[in-house]
């Protein structure tokens, strides 16, 4: 006890989390096989019930998230899609209508219908309801969430509700002279803003040289001495920002400018003894980083498979991809390992008509999973089965929803990113993108297998394809 008191607060917190996690693992290993199978089973029906209930209405405690309502839509809709389920037509129509009311008259999406930027505006809203919609202040983060939500819903009604012309002008207005983007009018400039702007433009097929100009320079200025990427120059490397920065550099076809070796070194050491990932050095494990860090590996895997190609396209390798075992201390409990994977990513983006032509288009490879039939030659750089074990045993609540860590409550944010990370690691050993993972790559029953995602955007793959086809024709 005396030695425990001598530890720092950070060290004590880490010890307590490890004890909670290892107690769960110990209990699991002492259970009979039938009970172990149940604990490793993804409780699909309970998760869908929890998620659907959240989309129809939330209690008063959620008022603190009032400016994040498109995010709540995205977290829930994406989670439902990962589980290969759909919302009913009425709820889908209501969601499209709600997000349309979040769309500002000058482009982009706000955190809710009519949400304004100043207290005075809020007073005016009460006095003059007729100009309510005119005061909507769009924000890049909620624009990303709204667009991803509509892409996830899919179909002409959802996709045609996005005013791409005005959204493009909003993105141009958020562009800063530094090369980065502001989150909103007068807001902060950071890597988050760069990713959300470039991701939305790429998905909607409106990415051009004006938007891309000097973005790479800004991202590069945020790569730290550790190798990861910070939110802004001079800050600490962070898993969320590292994913955003790496994905952005891939989308603008400048990923080879990053120090990928040091970035890889940084991210591989973020997986802890619990099996899950921490977001920063000396921080606690958190289920959401199953995607924010795990998604980085999905991108690095494809970059490594194409090493030597300039510019580096994702998934354009022609290697043979031999099966390779993953040898780890926890593999005895988790079962045998899976295979290599390769998905063909990249991007090709054009303008809306002639309204914002530029002298040259962005040099980005077409995002096409059929672009390459080659196999990746690189083994997973993380323990995918240990991560699945953490998600299923420590993050999953059996009555529905997923959480940060033991002792925390479930929420839609962690449900979304835990499931996204689970999908990524289930396919981390996939050899042929046209084949499903082998059972040994999926911890627990094979019914745990989730839908594949497009890791650059974190939308379910078939929903991405629907949007890609729609906006290519538009």
pLDDT of residue 307: 54
**How is the chain split among helix, strand and coil, in percent rounded to 5?**
50, 5, 45
Q: Of 144, 289, 390, 457, which residue is the catalytic one?
A: 289
Query: In this model, does residue 348 exceed pLDDT 50?
Result: no
Q: Quote the CA–CA distance of 89 and 151 in Å, as a whole number.
A: 15
Q: Quote the CA–CA distance of 429 and 424 in Å, as a whole number.
A: 10
How confident is the model over 201-217, as a mean pLDDT? 98
How confident is the model over 392-421, as a mean pLDDT? 98
CA within 13 Å, CB half, 8: 4
pLDDT of residue 135: 58
Q: Is 289 a catalytic residue?
A: yes
Q: Is 425 a catalytic residue?
A: no
Rg (CA), the chain: 22
Q: Of 288, 416, 418, 425, which residue is the catalytic one?
A: 288
Q: Is 286 a catalytic residue?
A: yes
pLDDT of residue 121: 46
98-154 pLDDT per residue, tens: 999 999 999 999 999 988 644 334 444 455 544 444 557 999 999 999 999 999 999
Query: In this model, does residue 341 exceed pLDDT 60?
Result: no
Q: Is 288 a catalytic residue?
A: yes
44-55 pLDDT per residue, tens: 999 999 999 999
Q: Of 47, 238, 410, 412, which residue is the catalytic one?
A: 238
Q: Which two tokens stand for residue 223?
A: 């790569």
Q: Would you say residue 265 lies in a domain?
A: yes
How confident is the model over 53-61, as a mean pLDDT? 91
The answer to whether the beta carbons of residues 452 and 420 sit under 8 Å apart is: no
Q: Of 78, 283, 302, 468, which residue is the catalytic one?
A: 283
Q: Would you say residue 148 lies in a domain?
A: yes
pLDDT of residue 371: 32
Mean pLDDT score across all residues of the chain: 84
Query: How many structural domains comprise the chain?
Result: 1
pLDDT of residue 372: 33
Query: In this model, does residue 309 exceed pLDDT 50?
Result: no
Q: Would you say residue 438 lies in a domain?
A: yes
Query: Can you give the CATH number for the domain in which 84 is found?
Result: 1.50.10.20
Q: Is 280 a catalytic residue?
A: yes
Q: Of 190, 286, 316, 342, which residue is the catalytic one?
A: 286
Q: Of 404, 410, 412, 468, which residue is the catalytic one?
A: 404
Query: In this model, does residue 332 exceed pLDDT 50?
Result: no
Q: Which of 83-87, 264-268, 315-319, 442-446 has the lowest mean pLDDT?
A: 315-319
Query: In this model, does residue 327 exceed pLDDT 60?
Result: no
How confident is the model over 250-270, as a mean pLDDT? 97
232-253 pLDDT per residue, tens: 999 999 999 999 999 999 999 9
Q: Would you say residue 326 lies in a domain?
A: no
Q: Which residue has the tokens 């835990």?
A: 418
Q: Enumerate residues 6+ apart whose C-beta is below 8 A from 90.
A: none
More confident of the two residues 362 and 340: 362
How confident is the model over 26-36, as a mean pLDDT? 96
Q: Would you say residue 366 lies in a domain?
A: no
Q: Of 194, 244, 411, 427, which residue is the catalytic one?
A: 411
CA neighbor of 236 nearest in space, from 181, 186, 283? 283
Q: Of 301, 414, 454, 468, which residue is the catalytic one?
A: 414
Q: Would you say residue 334 lies in a domain?
A: no
Q: Is 238 a catalytic residue?
A: yes
Q: Would you say residue 204 lies in a domain?
A: yes
pLDDT of residue 303: 84
Q: Would you say residue 3 lies in a domain?
A: no
162's enclosing H/E stretch is: none
Domain range spanning residue 91?
9-308+376-473
């Amino acid at each position: 006890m005396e030695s425990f008191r001598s530890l720092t607060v950070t060290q004590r917190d880490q010890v307590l989390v490890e004890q909670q996690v290892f107690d769960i693992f110990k209990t699991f290993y002492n259970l009979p096989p039938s009970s172990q199978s149940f604990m490793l089973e993804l409780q699909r029906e309970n998760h869908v019930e929890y998620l659907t209930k959240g989309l129809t209405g939330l209690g008063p405690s959620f008022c603190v998230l009032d400016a994040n309502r498109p995010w709540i839509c995205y977290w829930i809709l994406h989670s439902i899609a990962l589980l290969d389920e759909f919302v009913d037509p009425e709820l889908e129509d209501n969601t499209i209508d709600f997000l349309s009311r979040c769309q500002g008259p000058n482009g982009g999406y706000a955190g809710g219908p009519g949400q304004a930027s100043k207290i005075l505006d809020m007073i005016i809203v009460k006095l003059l309801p007729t100009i309510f919609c005119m005061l909507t202040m769009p924000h890049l983060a909620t624009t990303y969430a709204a667009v991803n939500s509509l892409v996830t819903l899919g179909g002409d009604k959802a996709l045609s509700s996005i005013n791409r012309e005005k959204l493009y002008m909003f993105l141009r207005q958020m562009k800063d002279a530094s090369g980065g983007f502001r989150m909103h009018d007068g807001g902060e400039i950071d890597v988050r803003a760069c990713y959300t702007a470039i991701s939305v433009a790429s998905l909607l097929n409106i990415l051009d040289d004006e938007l891309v100009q000097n973005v790479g320079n800004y991202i590069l200025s945020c790569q730290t001495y550790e190798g990861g990427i910070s939110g802004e120059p001079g800050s600490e490397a962070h898993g969320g920002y590292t994913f955003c920065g790496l994905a952005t550099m891939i989308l603008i076809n400048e990923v080879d400018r990053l120090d990928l070796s040091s970035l890889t070194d940084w991210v591989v050491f973020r997986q802890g003894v619990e099996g899950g990932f921490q977001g920063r050095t000396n921080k606690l494990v958190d289920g959401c980083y199953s995607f924010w860090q795990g998604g980085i590996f999905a991108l690095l895997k494809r970059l490594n498979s194409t090493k030597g190609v300039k510019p580096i396209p994702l998934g354009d390798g022609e290697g043979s991809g031999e099966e390779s075992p993953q040898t780890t201390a926890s593999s005895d409990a988790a079962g045998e390992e899976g295979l290599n994977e390769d998905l063909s990513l990249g991007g090709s983006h054009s303008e809306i008509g002639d309204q914002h032509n530029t002298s040259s288009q962005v040099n980005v490879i077409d995002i096409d999973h059929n672009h390459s039939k080659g196999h990746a030659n690189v083994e997973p750089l993380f323990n995918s089965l240990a991560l699945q074990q953490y998600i299923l045993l420590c993050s999953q609540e059996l009555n529905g929803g997923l959480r940060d860590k033991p002792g925390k409550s479930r929420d839609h944010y962690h449900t979304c990113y835990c499931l996204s990370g689970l999908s990524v690691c289930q396919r981390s050993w996939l050899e042929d993108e046209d084949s499903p993972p082998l059972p040994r790559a999926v911890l627990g029953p094979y019914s745990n297998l989730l839908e594949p995602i497009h890791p650059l955007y974190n939308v379910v793959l078939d929903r991405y394809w629907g949007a890609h086809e729609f906006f290519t024709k538009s």
